[in-house]
Copies of this chain bind each other. A is one copy, B any other.
Amino acid sequence: MRKGEETRNRILDVAEAAVLQKGFGGTSIEELIVETGITKSGFFYHFKDKNELAKALLNRYIENDERIYDEIFSRARDLMDDPLQSFLLGLKLLSELLADLPNGHPGCLVATVCYYERLFDREIQETNKNAVLAWRRRFGRMFREIMAVYTPREPVDVDQLADMVSSVLEGGIVLSKTLKEPNTLAEQVLMLRTFVRMLFLPAVESPLAAVRHDQLHGMAGSGQP
């Protein structure tokens, strides 16, 4: 019972790394069992086919992803009471986390599935769609809190603004992976941060705003020591 879970997770670990590098079609079950140190029969004991492996992989990935966002933004919420400052800090923390990944971001399974859609069943595509919608709700909620306090400089749709966060992350991953420049993703997140800050913070004029600006600029610079 306990042992089974552990083996299953080991398979998922190996499979996730392989799938993010080579896609689902490019990952053979053969190589998974070799690297996991299990037999073919053992593999099919845990997953009845590749589709079920994909399902488990995606669900685990999404859960983990959500957990990370929960942690980062709740930590930011604890440190800053203002919703805008808290969100900006969250983006800063996120960019630092991404910059600290030793080999860069390994890739997003949601994107992998997106570019593989036709080979999986409706359920997986639905799961994937829901993951993106969850991002939209998550960041949308944050932007609504911000907008309860701040008026955006330009009229923007909250959902579209929330999607912008997901876009920059997904796109930044693609750029970072393709260029093999781990920093690019972190920089893009900071660029997004600049966007959000500009959108909600008034033109730098008041002493308070000036202080805030220096403070944030200083933080942004401390990303890559």
Q: Which residues of A does B touch, CB under 8 Å?
A: 20-27, 107, 110-119, 128-129, 131-133, 153-157, 160-161, 163-164, 166-172, 174-175, 177-180, 184, 187-188, 190-192, 194-195, 197-199, 203-204, 213, 217
Contact = CB atoms under 8 A, between A and B. Distances in A.
A175 B170 contact: yes
A174 B163 contact: no
5 contacts: A21-B117, A157-B187, A167-B174, A170-B170, A170-B175
Main secondary structure of the interface of A (DSSP, over half): helix
Given A132-B178, A164-B188, A170-B170, A156 B118 contact: no
Contacts of A113: 178
Q: How many copies does the complex hold?
A: 2
B178 A128 contact: yes
A177 B114 CA distance: 7
Contacts of A175: 132, 163, 166-167, 170
B155 A184 contact: no
Nearest to A184: B163
A116 B26 contact: yes
Given A115-B115, A167-B175, A179-B129, A191 B21 contact: no
B194 A156 contact: yes
A99 to B, nearest CB: 13
Nearest to A22: B118
Contacts of A111: 111, 115, 174
B174 A110 contact: yes
- For A161, A163, A166, A198, the residue with the greatest tally of chain B CB atoms inside 10 Å of its CB is A163
Contact of A25 (B24, B133, B195): B24
